[in-house]
């Protein structure tokens, strides 16, 4: 392979001069710089990443810890992965993808071996055991997903409290007075998906404040169970005119459920979901929904992480950046039908 020594020899200068000519960290005469650059071009020189890492203590690689949970909608994760990877590349970083079952071990191993300059943790749980390791790691990290105790770490997530309120308020303003909220299964909660609680509690509280009904249900995450549950919910609460879905499987099942009952949205019932844009496209779901903003969260997490690595960011203060929810209007909400 071609080393900086080869470049130096061809350009007729010392290795250090070649290095300075390329980095620009000391002044170099125009002639020498040109000779070095020409040698680089002719030889096709690319610095050896390992050597560079050893010398500079910077690898220009970020560690991306994905956490795949059984029976979660995996494709959603892909959006986060792509968002992070693409933004990282723009900032000059490559991405080491870690999907190890044991996230703690992976984090420790990669951190100790100095393979990366920083970490992005996806799908962070309420009580995530990776956080302690991250806090004591030599590299900084950004979280995507709000844990119970985010102290000392930068966090990026959708504002699920605001999301719960927004869903309720939107339908309340249209005149709805009885709503059904379908959340993800309780076992998602047990695994630490506290965002389900945050949204549900906020929705319930807001409904109470506004003096309207909200029936909350933890739905299944698989077909056809969730479809059957939806049928039952609609039977049990015939007066409900609005349906809030914080459950991807429920959203996917709803078209058939409505169709079989001869109902349509928004004429008979208004629907607001909470799932990614991409999910909606894949399933061609016609319901207005609060986007998960995976791409945007990934971007923000990376940008913050990079500024921390560069030392640009104030090392003392940490941010908890909760993205304001926004409803992608697909026309599935309207004033409730007038009862005969």
Partner DNA sequence: CACTGTCGTCGAACCGGTTCGATTCGAACC
Partner DNA sequence: GGTTCGAATCGAACCGGTTCGACGACAGTG
Query: Can you give the binding site for a copy of itself, defined by CB under 8 A?
Result: 1, 44, 46-54, 59, 61, 64, 68, 73-75, 77-78, 81-82, 85-86, 89, 94-100, 109-110, 112-115, 138, 222-224, 252, 255-256, 259, 278, 282-284
Give the shortest CB-161-to-DNA separation in angstroms.
45
* Cβ distance to a copy of itself smaller for residue 194 or 226: 226
Question: Got the DSSP string for 112-141?
Answer: HTT--SEEEE-S--TT-THHHHHHHSSS-E
Residue 17 touching DNA (CB under 7 A):
yes
**Taking CB within 5 to 8 Å according to partner kind, which of DNA, a copy of itself, none is near residue 78?**
a copy of itself
CA distances from 312 to 85, 99, 155, 238, 304 (A): 21, 30, 17, 57, 9
Output the CA torsion 202→156→106→317 (10° steps). Answer: -120
* Cβ distance to DNA smaller for residue 8 or 230: 8
Binding residues among 45-74 for DNA as defined by CB under 7 A:
45, 47-48, 51-52, 54-56
**Taking CB within 5 to 8 Å according to partner kind, which of a copy of itself, DNA, none is near residue 13?**
DNA
Residue 86 touching DNA (CB under 7 A):
no
Site stretch for DNA (CB under 7 A), options 20-28, 82-90, 121-129, 137-145: 20-28
Q: Do the strands 288-290 and 270-274 form a parallel or antiparallel pair, or are they unpaired? A: parallel
Residue 165 CB contacts under 8 Å (≥ 6 apart), including other chains? 202, 203, 206
End-to-end, the C-alpha distance of the chain in Å comes to 82
Residue 13 touching DNA (CB under 7 A):
yes
| SS3 call for 18 | helix
**Taking CB within 5 to 8 Å according to partner kind, which of DNA, a copy of itself, none is near residue 283?**
a copy of itself
Give the shortest CB-97-to-a copy of itself separation in angstroms.
4
**Taking CB within 5 to 8 Å according to partner kind, which of DNA, a copy of itself, none is near residue 213?**
none
Q: Report whether 202 contacts 164 (CB < 8 A).
A: yes
Give the shortest CB-321-to-DNA separation in angstroms.
32
CA–CA separation, 8 vs 3, rounded Å?
Answer: 9
* Cβ distance to a copy of itself smaller for residue 116 or 125: 116
Number of neighbours of residue 11 by Cβ within 10 angstroms: 22
Among 23, 284, 317, 338, indicate the residue that binds DNA (CB under 7 A).
23
Residue 260 CB-density burial (10 A; 0-12 exposed, 13-18 middle, 19+ buried): exposed
Residue 31 touching DNA (CB under 7 A):
yes
Binding residues among 156-215 for DNA as defined by CB under 7 A:
none
* Cβ distance to a copy of itself smaller for residue 20 or 80: 80
DSSP H or E segment with residue 282: helix 277-283
Nearest to 272 by CA among 177, 179, 157, 160: 179
């Amino acid at each position: 392979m071609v080393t900086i020594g080869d470049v130096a020899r061809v350009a007729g200068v010392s290795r250090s001069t070649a290095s300075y000519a390329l980095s620009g960290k000391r002044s170099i005469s125009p002639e020498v710089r040109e000779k070095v650059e020409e040698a680089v071009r002719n030889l096709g020189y690319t610095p050896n990443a390992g050597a560079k890492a050893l010398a500079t203590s910077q690898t220009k690689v970020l560690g991306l810890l994905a956490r795949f949970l059984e029976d979660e909608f995996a494709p959603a994760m892909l959006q986060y992965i792509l968002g992070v990877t693409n933004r990282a590349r723009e900032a000059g970083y490559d991405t080491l993808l870690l999907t190890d079952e044991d996230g703690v071990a992976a984090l420790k191993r990669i951190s100790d071996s100095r393979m990366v300059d920083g970490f992005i943790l996806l799908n962070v749980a309420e009580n995530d055991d990776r956080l302690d390791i991250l806090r004591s790691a030599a590299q900084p990290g950004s979280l995507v997903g709000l844990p119970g105790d985010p102290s000392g770490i930068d966090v990026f997530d959708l504002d699920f409290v605001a999301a719960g309120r927004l869903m309720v308020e939107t339908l309340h303003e249209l005149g709805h007075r009885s709503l059904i909220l379908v959340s993800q299964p309780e076992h998602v909660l047990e695994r630490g998906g506290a965002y389900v609680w945050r949204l549900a509690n906020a929705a319930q509280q807001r409904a109470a404040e506004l003096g309207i009904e909200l029936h909350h249900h933890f739905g299944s995450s698989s077909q056809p169970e969730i479809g059957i549950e939806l049928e039952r919910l609609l039977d049990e609460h015939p007066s409900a005119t609005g349906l809030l879905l914080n459950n991807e499987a429920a959203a996917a099942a709803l078209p058939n459920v409505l169709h079989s009952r001869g109902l349509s949205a928004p004429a008979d019932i208004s629907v607001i979901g909470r799932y990614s844009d991409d999910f909606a496209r894949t399933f061609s779901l016609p319901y207005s929904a609060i986007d998960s903003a995976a791409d945007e969260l990934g971007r923000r997490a990376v940008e913050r992480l990079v500024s921390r690595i560069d030392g640009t960011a104030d090392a003392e203060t940490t941010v908890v950046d909760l993205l304001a929810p926004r409803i992608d209007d697909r026309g599935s909400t309207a004033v409730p039908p007038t009862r005969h």
